[in-house]
A and B are shown apart, each in its own frame.
Chain A
Amino acid sequence: MTESKQSHTAIIQRSLARRYRAEKRFRAYGLMAITFGLLCVALLFTDIISKGYKAFLQTSIQLNITYDADVLGISDLNNKQQVALADFQGLVKKSLQARFPDVTGRKEKRDLVSLVSSGAGYDLRDRLIANPQLLGNTETLWLSADDDIDTYYKSMGDENGAFTGRTSEMRQGWIETLKQDGDIKLGLNRVFFTHGDSREPEQAGIWGAAMGSLFTLIITLSLSFPIGVAAAVYLEEFAPRNRWTDLIEVNINNLAAVPSIIFGLLGLAIFINFFHVPRSVPLVGGLVLTLMTLPTIIISSRASIKAVPPSIREAAIGVGASPMQVVLHHVLPLAMPGMLTGAIIGMAQALGETAPLLMIGMVAFIVDIPGGFTEPATVLPVQIFLWADSPERAFVEKTSAAIMVLLAFLIMMNTLAVVLRKRLERRW
């Protein structure tokens, strides 16, 4: 008896050691997986941030601008046509020539003018319209530098030497002069946060795409959440269990796995070709993304309705609540945190979606910032895609910066999800 007992203990001891080793190995695998994941994320982030942070800065050049009525060819500021045709770029040219009087020759002169962004003229026009008394007067201004200059100036401190690609030695000399005079500086890039897209990197901003995303998501949320919750409540609480509801259930589950571009084709066929909703607008984008997120929201809502303890339902029925009262008073409040989380996950998915939007013309080059649901717009991921496709070197950093903005957007939404969950969650 004691002998067999002892041998048992020995066997158990041996197997214990083996089990503990297996456990340790298992934990090590997990740790390795997490480390790998974290490394990847860290790599991604360092890459994006190191590339992108410079996009938030912009090189600008200080110039004395004289609003010469002759150069502009404006006699009356109220004459819209005159203002529209006025040669504001000429003011910049003049000012630069005054700054570097020894530059001659057509080519050199052209190079000199292109130190400053080709969009500078529009800025000057806007200033003049805002302050008409400037006409005929002179002021000192910081104007955005051209993207080549910007890229060169930002890379001047780099270990590998400055990036001189499209900046000739002559221009480098001018920049040196400006630098010595303190007339060139690196400042916060306001344009990036306030402008729409542009062919000129220094004029390109994210705001248009952000607003486009916002409008699209508002449409998506306000359609998919109520529809999704209503569908989930009906299917969970009221629908009879039969072949039809089974079929609907299978279809919903399948829809969640359908490639998103299919939804784009569907949107194109239904909303644009059939209902004649204008192309490229947040309204149609929102509708398409609604179709795409509905299955996700229905599935997560159903899951959270299912998670409401049946005992609570029984209790409510037991004191004589009608089926609708049971749902409104008990099931929905208890399922709400889960539903919201599902909705926000669906929204995040919609926010990052490009493929279906390709089909409905939201991959357009749109300079204006959309002001409503029916104005042409693009969205953040599409903007990233467009910039990543652009040849100018300055767009590389813009792409990374746009990714950072998109990530910030996502983090904000997820934080909102967590906060809502915490606030609405109840113990039972």
Chain B
Amino acid sequence: MVNKLVTDTAEMLEEKTASRKAVVHSTAYPEQAIGSPFVKNPKMSMRNVDVFYGEKQAIFNVNVDIGQNEVIAMIGPSGCGKSTFLRSINRMNDTVDSCRVKGELTLDGEDIYSAKMDPVALRARVGMVFQKPNPFPKSIYDNVSYGPRLHGLASRRAELDEIVEMSLHRAGLWEEVKDRLDQPGTGLSGGQQQRLCIARAIAISPEVILMDEPCSALDPIATAKIEELIAELSENYTIAIVTHSMQQAARVSHRTAYFHLGHLVEVNDTEKVFTAPEHELTEAYITGRFG
């Protein structure tokens, strides 16, 4: 028994050592994202994704999986296509005329861009939180209840009340706003507004939540609250977050994907990316060398 354990450990070590490929020292983009872009039983998987804006290609052959209940962070310099990629995941790019998405994107094995997939239904399953807090100029209650009402998730007022309360609870906002649900959502502070937007997104019980730089307009304390919230939400939801703050990616995510000018360069466990990235471009970006 003990012997077996010892050999197992030895094997494991051997395997680990063997799997450590030499660090890549070319500034060329890898054919495939290096590291571990694929997971077992992915919630979403993207294969050979290209995104074009008119003639211009914004995303080049991206292959990556998002695991169940995982927080995946996407980092990279401005204009690297991480937001574009995030928006392809729930077809927000459909609203941009010139935008075309090629490749295979699946959610639980269903093709997102197939004719059978309705974009409205998709967005009910893949919610989104934006860079700037954007509550509707309506009451807090209406903000949260808007989605459920649209999709007819509650037939009676009491059910709707319940959904609103639960969503605000999950977003950690209930205690702060329970006495003023009828007041405008725009009257809240920036951090509260962003949590209201998160409550609005989770009110329709999505399976995946996409966050596009959710804290870039917030102060550190509000940011900390959102990050705390992300950690709690990851128990029930799968989260993909785009962020400019590498520290934030390091704090909240399980895996980190590094994009460079439309190429997915490296995907790895977050601690690996921030201590020993495999690709030189990743290394250069997270250590703050050139851009």
Q: Note whether A and B form a binding pair.
A: yes
- A330: chain B residues at CB < 8 Å are 136
- B120: chain A residues at CB < 8 Å are 320-322
Judging by beta carbons under 8 Å apart, are A314 and B136 in contact? Answer: no
Judging by beta carbons under 8 Å apart, are A315 and B186 in contact? Answer: no
Which of A314, A321, A426 has a CB less than 8 Å from the CB of B92?
A314
Q: Which residues from 298 to 318 on chain A have a C-beta closer than 8 Å to any C-beta of chain B?
A: 309, 311-318
Contact with A along B123-163 (1 / 0, CB 8 A): 11001111010111100000000110011000000000000
- A sample of 26 cross-chain residue pairs with beta-carbon separation below 8 angstroms, ordered by A number, consists of A311-B134, A312-B134, A312-B136, A313-B95, A314-B128, A314-B134, A315-B136, A315-B197, A317-B95, A318-B90, A318-B129, A318-B130, A319-B123, A319-B127, A319-B204, A320-B120, A320-B121, A320-B123, A320-B124, A320-B204, A321-B120, A322-B120, A330-B136, A334-B137, A427-B137, A428-B137
Q: In the complex, what distance in Å separates the CA atom of A426 from the CA atom of B95?
A: 25
> Given known contacts A312-B134, A320-B123, what 13 new A-B pairs fall within 8 Å (CB)?
A311-B130, A312-B137, A315-B135, A317-B95, A318-B90, A318-B130, A319-B124, A319-B150, A319-B204, A320-B147, A321-B150, A329-B146, A428-B186
Judging by beta carbons under 8 Å apart, are A319 and B201 in contact? Answer: yes
Judging by beta carbons under 8 Å apart, are B134 and A315 in contact? Answer: yes
A315 in contact with B137 given A240-B97, A241-B97, A325-B150 (CB within 8 Å): no
- B123: chain A residues at CB < 8 Å are 317-320
Q: Which residues from 214 to 261 on chain B have a C-beta closer than 8 Å to any C-beta of chain A?
A: none
Judging by beta carbons under 8 Å apart, are A318 and B136 in contact? Answer: no
Is B263 close to A, CB under 8 A? no
By size class, the interface of chain A is 20 to 34
Q: In the complex, what distance in Å separates the CA atom of A317 from the CA atom of B151?
A: 13
Contact with A along B180-199 (1 / 0, CB 8 A): 00001010000000000100
Q: Which residues from 65 to 118 on chain B have a C-beta closer than 8 Å to any C-beta of chain A?
A: 90, 92, 95, 97
- A312: chain B residues at CB < 8 Å are 134, 136-137
Judging by beta carbons under 8 Å apart, are B150 and A320 in contact? Answer: yes
Q: In the complex, what distance in Å separates the CA atom of A330 from the CA atom of B151?
A: 16
- B201: chain A residues at CB < 8 Å are 318-319
Judging by beta carbons under 8 Å apart, are A318 and B150 in contact? Answer: no
Judging by beta carbons under 8 Å apart, are B132 and A311 in contact? Answer: yes
Q: Chain A at the B interface: mostly helix, strand, loop or mixed?
A: helix
Q: In the complex, what distance in Å separates the CA atom of A322 from the CA atom of B200?
A: 16
Q: In the complex, what distance in Å separates the CA atom of A155 from the CA atom of B201?
A: 77
Closest B residue to A334 by beta carbon equals B137
Judging by beta carbons under 8 Å apart, are B137 and A426 in contact? Answer: yes
Judging by beta carbons under 8 Å apart, are A315 and B130 in contact? Answer: yes
Closest A residue to B135 by beta carbon equals A315
In the complex, the 6 A-B pairs of residues with the closest C-beta atoms, listed nearest first: A311-B134, A319-B147, A318-B128, A320-B124, A320-B123, A428-B137
Judging by beta carbons under 8 Å apart, are B184 and A427 in contact? Answer: yes
Q: In the complex, what distance in Å separates the CA atom of A314 from the CA atom of B128?
A: 9
- B151: chain A residues at CB < 8 Å are 320
Output the residue of B124, B134, B151, B203 with the most chain A CB within 10 A.
B134
Judging by beta carbons under 8 Å apart, are A318 and B186 in contact? Answer: no
- A318: chain B residues at CB < 8 Å are 90, 92, 123, 127-130, 201
- A317: chain B residues at CB < 8 Å are 92, 95, 123
Q: In the complex, what distance in Å separates the CA atom of A330 from the CA atom of B129?
A: 18
Q: In the complex, what distance in Å separates the CA atom of A329 from the CA atom of B149?
A: 12
- B186: chain A residues at CB < 8 Å are 427-428
Judging by beta carbons under 8 Å apart, are B92 and A319 in contact? Answer: no
Closest A residue to B95 by beta carbon equals A317
Contact with B along A417-428 (1 / 0, CB 8 A): 000000000111
Q: In the complex, what distance in Å separates the CA atom of A316 from the CA atom of B137?
A: 12
Output the residue of A309, A320, A322 with the most chain B CB within 10 A.
A320
Q: In the complex, what distance in Å separates the CA atom of A318 from the CA atom of B130?
A: 9
Q: In the complex, what distance in Å separates the CA atom of A159 from the CA atom of B136?
A: 67
- B197: chain A residues at CB < 8 Å are 315
Q: In the complex, what distance in Å separates the CA atom of A241 from the CA atom of B186?
A: 33
Judging by beta carbons under 8 Å apart, are B204 and A316 in contact? Answer: no
- A325: chain B residues at CB < 8 Å are 150
Taking the nearest CB of chain A, how far is it from the CB of B187, in angstroms?
8
Which of A240, A241, A319, A427 has a CB less than 8 Å from the CB of B200?
A319
Q: In the complex, what distance in Å separates the CA atom of A328 from the CA atom of B124?
A: 19
- A314: chain B residues at CB < 8 Å are 92, 95, 128, 130, 134
- B90: chain A residues at CB < 8 Å are 318
Closest A residue to B94 by beta carbon equals A317
Contact with B along A326-337 (1 / 0, CB 8 A): 000110001000
- B135: chain A residues at CB < 8 Å are 315
Q: In the complex, what distance in Å separates the CA atom of A423 from the CA atom of B204?
A: 32
Q: In the complex, what distance in Å separates the CA atom of A311 from the CA atom of B150?
A: 19
Q: In the complex, what distance in Å separates the CA atom of A417 from the CA atom of B140?
A: 29
Q: In the complex, what distance in Å separates the CA atom of A427 from the CA atom of B204?
A: 26
Closest A residue to B125 by beta carbon equals A320
Q: In the complex, what distance in Å separates the CA atom of A45 from the CA atom of B151?
A: 59
Q: In the complex, what distance in Å separates the CA atom of A147 from the CA atom of B197?
A: 73
Q: In the complex, what distance in Å separates the CA atom of A321 from the CA atom of B149?
A: 10
Taking the nearest CB of chain A, how far is it from the CB of B65, in angstroms?
23
- A241: chain B residues at CB < 8 Å are 97
- A426: chain B residues at CB < 8 Å are 137
Output the residue of A240, A309, A312, A318 with the most chain B CB within 10 A.
A318
Taking the nearest CB of chain B, how far is it from the CB of A328, in angstroms?
11
Contact with B along A44-88 (1 / 0, CB 8 A): 000000000000000000000000000000000000000000000
Taking the nearest CB of chain A, how far is it from the CB of B150, in angstroms?
6
